[in-house]
Copies of this chain bind each other. A is one copy, B any other.
Amino acid sequence: MLLPRAEAEEYASWFKALADATRIQIVSLLARRHAPMTVGEIVAASGVGQSTVSHHLKILAEVRFVLVERQGTSSLYRINEACVSCFPTAADVVMGNPVPASPACD
């Protein structure tokens, strides 16, 4: 009857990743460019501090919205198109439709 707590927490954590305006801006920035960006480029474009950007990128990477690859002294972040499009819609979560598991998105 009631959705199991653990399942609700997992869905919530996905929505939580986009529940911040700065993260929305970062994600949309990465998506509009179809090329990877360094942290420095994102900092310059976003208007918030470097440590803040790094913090948000970590959160976005934990739910696989973005992928990271180190190259030399810099980190290249890019959008994970597969994961973004398999992100559950509100309708899916709410209606109990099957939702692809998080590890399925690479």
Contacts and interface: CB of A to CB of B under 8 A. Distances in A.
Interface of A: 1-3, 5, 8-9, 11-12, 15-16, 18-25, 27-29, 31-32, 45-47, 65, 79, 84-85, 87, 89-91, 93-96
What is the total number of copies of this protein in its complex?
Answer: 2
Given A9-B21, A12-B18, A21-B12, A87 B90 contact: yes
30 contacts: A2-B25, A2-B29, A2-B45, A2-B47, A3-B25, A3-B29, A8-B22, A8-B24, A8-B25, A8-B28, A11-B18, A11-B21, A11-B24, A12-B20, A12-B21, A15-B15, A15-B16, A16-B19, A18-B90, A18-B93, A19-B19, A24-B93, A31-B94, A31-B95, A32-B95, A32-B96, A84-B90, A85-B91, A87-B89, A87-B91
